[in-house]
A and B are shown apart, each in its own frame.
Chain A
Amino acid sequence: MNAMSAFTGVGPLVRFVLRRDRVYLPVWVLSLVVLTYVSAAAVRRTYDTPVEIASYAVNMGTSPASIAMGGPPVALREIGGILIYETSLTVLLGVALMAVFTVVRHTRKEEDAGRVELLGSTVVSPHAVITAAVLVAAGASVLVGAGVTWSFLVEQQPVRESVLFGAAVAAMGIVFTGVGACAAQVMSHGRGAVGLSLAFLGVAFGLRAIGDVGENAWSWLSPMGWSQQVRVYDDNRWWPLALSLVLTAALLVGTVLFEGRRDLGAGIVPSRPGPPSAGRTLAGVVGLAWRLQRGAVVGWVVGIWSMGLLLGSFSESIQNMIEDNPTLAEYLQRAGVTNIVDSFFATSLLLLGIGASGFAVASALRTRSEESAGRVEPLLATGVSRARWLFGTLLVTLGGTTLVVASGGLGVGMSYALTTGRSSEMWRMTGYALVYLPAVLLLAALVVLLVGWLPRASGAVWVAVALCFVVGWLGSLLELPQWAADLSPFTHVPAVPAVPADDLALGPVLTMLALAVAALAAGWVGFRRRDIG
């Protein structure tokens, strides 16, 4: 095929994708840029004296937990280094998620819905669909990078550094554009492609966390590491981004090869023949929902558990750091932190809880996606009532969410048990993690409320999850007003174990549980009386 025909139809397709995403993409790009800008402004306000900056370098730059999150502590003795340390986690993860979702949404998910077939019959070249999706996702990544550069320039940062950081962010998005495109070929449906890409992102995050904390080469195995190894404000080197581009090129070549080798609608991983008749468990609504979601449950349990394990493993070095560093201990005492290890656990459990709500919301949204895919109709045409279908499906959401939330605490606890030799820590931490369960379930119940009354808007709960993350992770930095922080259910969860268990303010937790039940009931009222489809 010559170059002309290889790209036939890409132009119109790009316009088509942009039109369909005229709300979706601007929301992604703007939220990431605004978040970066607001955080950067807040950092500049907070650390406005040399003394503050110096103590930041000592305190944060030596904390393994914050290195695991924020990246290698580079140039923390100047405000620019702090800006990057504080903003990079959110924007790097954010741009990667945006790229993955965008690419998969316009390739594999479209194919699942049978729309690519329709396009394929018109005058587009075989790779036009994927090319258009890649161009749009990469373009959006570049826009986010440009927005980040702009935020830094507005905060009076030097041009060279601002541009380099923006480029590093864009490179992260571009690599994950390639990851998403490739995964969309390998896996045989959209959900699987997103799952594989997110697993890749999790591994990339984990590798560089290990490498950054241990100051060793592990970071170099991770594309997220490359975007951080540019060492802005210090070495200011561009060449690590070449690695990102090489990997992207390799992924895209793989994408084209895979696409050429598979059939429309299938994955590279072939689907094997399965059982000719249903097993005993596939007999009811719950059995079906479990069958459909068990892969996601296992994936999330393993993912959140590993994150917990990783976070828990830093507890020992935090303890050592305090013992070695009296100024830090004093600083923390003044800040009102009585037990730094416990407050580290509290933060970890909070983040794991917010992470787990990703599963809860995705799982609750299955009720809607199954309906719009037309797969609820045949079920409700059997002896299954609407109530049995809805609550049966949500039972799997409830059980899965409980497992995912608990697994985060179990991971933290297992690490801690290994370092302390007290196996009881495992169960203690698991118990603490479950304190977050009602807040997570409240988000899932919100999905049900929307599925009942405004099914088309039910995806909006993802915005609530993002808000919870912003409040939980950046809330204190951004100095959000209390009412804004209060919007997140996680704000109201007692910060166990930093708050002692006997003081456990169970009131808010029970209130959240009651609210969740109320939202569920209200959702049901809407669902039972509306049209299906």
Chain B
Amino acid sequence: MSTAISISGLVKTFGTTVALDGLDLEVRTGEVHGFLGPNGSGKSTTIRILLGLLRADRGQVTLLGGDPWREAAALHRRLAYVPGEVALWPNLTGGEVIDLLARLRGGIDHRRRDDLLERFDLDPTKRTRSYSKGNRQKVALVAALASDVELLLLDEPTSGLDPIMEAAFQGCIGEERSRGRTVLLSSHILAEAEALSDRVSIIRAGRVVQSGTLSELRHLTRTTVVVSTERPPDLIGRVPGVAHVVHEDGRVSFDVDTDHLDDAMDYLAPLKITSLVSHPPTLEELFLRQFGEQVPTEETVG
């Protein structure tokens, strides 16, 4: 089977709120798929439907080849989930929760559990009541990563982690990928999705507005160029596809649509380039382009 998750035309409403409005999403087996979107765009709702916790109003959802609503319990043995808001039983210790969740999922790899506890620097003897948000999240992460499953559904798993733990997390996801596991990673942290994801889907107001590999998405967007030339590039703003031109002490920076990159270079080359820095857009920029004000509306509607 080459698709782990396939969703088409998914609609979910809560009263008058339309949380998902015809969402399409495909996650291939073995890939790490970044699921990005602003607050309230429907990431958690999508994941909850995938888990059979919410009932879809309309649309087709296939998870690991099965129907997530009807075959929930059987499918869940093959996946692990880390919720965005980790709520734990205050009287249980972290270690107890990890074991409990893993047992309910069908077993735990003890070596891996101990290894993960060490990597995430988590004290399993503390009652979860006294854990910080980040530590509660680590409990859910260790429980999920220590289980032998095909698919990981991670809903903003690192929103409470410090940078060191974030790095540990990225290391773990890398290992999961090399073991051939599929990961759906919803995130706000663009650098994280950028570092980990094979492909990303960007969701907004309950619809996926962009989907593809990072290079495919970059293709749709602009490259930022900072250049110095011997003769001043006064007319750079007239080159098609160029925007956001800023002149500052002899240098000029501008954004250019990837399709028109060669036009810009054709214009600049005769002016004698002395230095040139260009970088592809970071996911951050993709994100801002997608949702920020500076982008014309017809582009955001996608």
| A260 contacts B by Cβ under 8 Å | no
Q: When chains A and B are docked, how far (Å) is the Cα of A529 from the Cα of B54?
A: 9
A282 with B96: CB separation less than 8 A: yes
Chain A residue at smallest Cβ distance from B93: A274
B101 with A378: CB separation less than 8 A: yes
Question: How many residues on the B side are at the interface (Cβ–Cβ under 8 A)?
Answer: 42
| B212 contacts A by Cβ under 8 Å | no
A533 with B99: CB separation less than 8 A: no
Stretch of B1-9, B122-130, B252-260 lying at the A interface: B122-130
Q: When chains A and B are docked, how far (Å) is the Cα of A382 from the Cα of B96?
A: 16
| B87 contacts A by Cβ under 8 Å | yes
| B278 contacts A by Cβ under 8 Å | no
Q: When chains A and B are docked, how far (Å) is the Cα of A377 from the Cα of B72?
A: 12
A533 with B53: CB separation less than 8 A: yes
Task: Tell me which residues across on chain B come within 8 A of A112, comparing CB atoms.
Answer: 90
Which residue of A278, A374, A529 contacts B85 across the interface (Cβ within 8 Å)?
A: A374
> Which residues of A252-295 have CB atoms within 8 Å of chain B's CB atoms?
265-266, 271, 273-279, 282-285, 288, 291-292
> Which residues of A275-334 have CB atoms within 8 Å of chain B's CB atoms?
275-279, 282-285, 288, 291-292
A383 with B95: CB separation less than 8 A: no
Closest CB in chain B relative to A296 CB, distance in Å:
12
Chain A residue at smallest Cβ distance from B126: A273
Using known A-B contacts A378-B83, A385-B72, determine if residue A278 contacts B103 with beta carbons closer than 8 Å: yes
Task: Tell me which residues across on chain A come within 8 A of B126, comparing CB atoms.
Answer: 273-274
Task: Tell me which residues across on chain A come within 8 A of B127, comparing CB atoms.
Answer: 271, 273-274
| B193 contacts A by Cβ under 8 Å | no
| Chain B binding surface, main DSSP class | mixed
Chain B residue at smallest Cβ distance from A370: B89
> Which residues of B49-77 have CB atoms within 8 Å of chain A's CB atoms?
51-55, 72-74, 76-77
B125 with A531: CB separation less than 8 A: no
A381 with B92: CB separation less than 8 A: no
Task: Tell me which residues across on chain B come within 8 A of A381, comparing CB atoms.
Answer: 51, 53, 76, 79-81, 83, 153
Chain B residue at smallest Cβ distance from A374: B87
> Which residues of A114-162 have CB atoms within 8 Å of chain B's CB atoms?
none
A266 with B130: CB separation less than 8 A: yes
A383 with B106: CB separation less than 8 A: yes
Task: Tell me which residues across on chain A come within 8 A of B125, comparing CB atoms.
Answer: 273-276
| A379 contacts B by Cβ under 8 Å | yes
Task: Tell me which residues across on chain B come within 8 A of A531, comparing CB atoms.
Answer: 53-55
A533 with B83: CB separation less than 8 A: no
| A375 contacts B by Cβ under 8 Å | yes
Which residue of B83, B92, B93 contacts A377 across the interface (Cβ within 8 Å)?
A: B83
| B88 contacts A by Cβ under 8 Å | yes
Q: When chains A and B are docked, how far (Å) is the Cα of A380 from the Cα of B77?
A: 11
A265 with B140: CB separation less than 8 A: no
B104 with A271: CB separation less than 8 A: no
A277 with B53: CB separation less than 8 A: no
Task: Tell me which residues across on chain A come within 8 A of B88, comparing CB atoms.
Answer: 375
Which residue of B72, B83, B124, B130 contacts A277 across the interface (Cβ within 8 Å)?
A: B124
A277 with B76: CB separation less than 8 A: no
Which residue of A279, A292, A374, A379 contacts B104 across the interface (Cβ within 8 Å)?
A: A379
Question: Which of A112, A188, A274 counts the most chain B CB atoms within 10 A?
Answer: A274
A265 with B51: CB separation less than 8 A: no
Chain B residue at smallest Cβ distance from A266: B130
| B177 contacts A by Cβ under 8 Å | no
Task: Tell me which residues across on chain A come within 8 A of B80, comparing CB atoms.
Answer: 381
Q: When chains A and B are docked, how far (Å) is the Cα of A386 from the Cα of B88?
A: 19
B96 with A378: CB separation less than 8 A: no
> Which residues of B85-133 have CB atoms within 8 Å of chain A's CB atoms?
85-93, 95-96, 98-101, 103-106, 124-127, 129-130
Closest CB in chain A relative to B154 CB, distance in Å:
12
| B48 contacts A by Cβ under 8 Å | yes
| A373 contacts B by Cβ under 8 Å | yes
Q: When chains A and B are docked, how far (Å) is the Cα of A375 from the Cα of B100?
A: 13
Task: Tell me which residues across on chain B come within 8 A of A242, comparing CB atoms.
Answer: none
| A506 contacts B by Cβ under 8 Å | no
B104 with A384: CB separation less than 8 A: yes
Task: Tell me which residues across on chain B come within 8 A of A384, comparing CB atoms.
Answer: 73, 76, 104
Closest CB in chain B relative to A393 CB, distance in Å:
13
Q: When chains A and B are docked, how far (Å) is the Cα of A324 from the Cα of B169?
A: 81
Q: When chains A and B are docked, how far (Å) is the Cα of A276 from the Cα of B83?
A: 22
B100 with A288: CB separation less than 8 A: yes
Task: Tell me which residues across on chain B come within 8 A of A265, comparing CB atoms.
Answer: 129-130
Task: Tell me which residues across on chain A come within 8 A of B72, comparing CB atoms.
Answer: 380, 385-386
> Which residues of A169-191 have CB atoms within 8 Å of chain B's CB atoms?
188-189
Chain A residue at smallest Cβ distance from B88: A375
Chain B residue at smallest Cβ distance from A273: B125
Closest CB in chain B relative to A285 CB, distance in Å:
8
Q: When chains A and B are docked, how far (Å) is the Cα of A285 from the Cα of B88?
A: 15
Chain A residue at smallest Cβ distance from B12: A531
Q: When chains A and B are docked, how far (Å) is the Cα of A382 from the Cα of B129?
A: 22
Q: When chains A and B are docked, how far (Å) is the Cα of A299 from the Cα of B293?
A: 60
A273 with B93: CB separation less than 8 A: yes
Chain B 252-271 against A: per-residue CB contact (8 Å), 1 yes, 0 no?
Answer: 00000000000000000000
Task: Tell me which residues across on chain B come within 8 A of A292, comparing CB atoms.
Answer: 89, 91
Which residue of B79, B99, B106, B153 contacts A282 across the interface (Cβ within 8 Å)?
A: B99
Using known A-B contacts A374-B83, A531-B55, determine if residue A284 contacts B93 with beta carbons closer than 8 Å: no
A275-B93, A277-B95, A381-B80 are known; give 17 further A-B pairs, CB within 8 A.
Answer: A189-B90, A273-B126, A275-B95, A276-B124, A278-B99, A282-B100, A284-B104, A288-B89, A291-B92, A377-B48, A377-B51, A377-B87, A378-B81, A378-B87, A382-B101, A383-B76, A384-B104
Could you list 9 examples of A-B contacts with CB < 8 Å? A265-B130, A266-B130, A275-B125, A276-B125, A278-B100, A279-B96, A384-B104, A386-B72, A532-B48
The residues of A with any CB-CB pair to B shorter than 8 Å are 112, 188-189, 265-266, 271, 273-279, 282-285, 288, 291-292, 373-375, 377-386, 388, 529-533
